[in-house]
């Protein structure tokens, strides 16, 4: 298809405009589209995918209120920022994230490199995450004895992880 504006180049941008209830289709080449101020996206933008999904999810409502017990982030917050709060979010938000992962990657399972350390089991990782959160809370509440106790437990767990 040839560009409707310059009538020279191949039209690669296809627009559907709705003006006063009238639908108009336009086919432009990249240069003409740029000159007319049409933004061209050559890549998948996560924010766009997410905000596109927001509406669909808003009607369902449920996912937005999902909250990670470890880092405290809600799915709605994640959708706004595009960044997760902690590794555990992948489990807490597993359902709504499935759609995001499929859109971005087209597939859902890891088939690449594996860490050399055998012992990176997720349970131990989560436990550390929770302990660190309690430590932070203890420090904030000025409960220093409790904080020291938690810090010792973290040290022991960390060393155990390293020597595994």
Cα–Cα–Cα angle for 92, 94, 96, rounded to 5 degrees: 110
Residue span binding another protein (CB under 8 A) among the ranges 18-26, 57-65, 95-103, 142-150? 95-103
**Closest separation between CB of residue 30 and another protein, Å?**
5
Q: Which two tokens stand for residue 147?
A: 């904080």
The C-alpha R_g of the chain, in whole angstroms, comes to: 24
Q: Which two tokens stand for residue 67?
A: 């909250």
Q: Which two tokens stand for residue 66?
A: 């999902």
**Closest separation between CB of residue 97 and another protein, Å?**
6
Residue 64 binding another protein, by CB under 8 A:
no
Binding residues for another protein, rule CB under 8 A, total 53
Identify the burial level of 30 via C-beta atoms within 10 angstroms of its C-beta, where 0-12 means exposed, 13-18 middle and 19 or more buried: middle
Of 18 and 116, which CB lies nearer to another protein in the complex structure?
A: 116
Residue 37 binding another protein, by CB under 8 A:
no
**Closest separation between CB of residue 7 and another protein, Å?**
14
């Amino acid at each position: 298809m040839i560009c409707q504006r310059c009538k020279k180049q191949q039209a690669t941008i296809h627009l559907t405009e709705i003006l006063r209830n009238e639908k108009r289709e336009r086919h432009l080449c990249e240069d003409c589209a740029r000159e007319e101020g049409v933004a061209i996206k050559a890549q998948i933008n996560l924010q766009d995918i997410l905000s596109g999904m927001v509406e669909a999810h808003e009607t369902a409502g449920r996912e937005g209120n999902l909250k990670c017990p470890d880092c405290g982030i809600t799915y709605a917050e994640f959708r706004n920022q595009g960044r997760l709060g902690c590794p555990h979010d992948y489990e807490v938000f597993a359902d709504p994230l499935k759609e995001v992962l499929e859109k971005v990657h087209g597939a859902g399972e890891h088939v690449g490199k594996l860490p050399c350390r055998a012992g990176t089991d997720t349970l131990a990782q989560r436990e550390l995450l929770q302990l660190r959160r309690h430590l932070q809370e203890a420090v904030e509440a000025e409960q220093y004895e409790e904080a020291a106790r938690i810090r010792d437990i973290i040290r022991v767990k960390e060393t155990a992880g390293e020597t595994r």
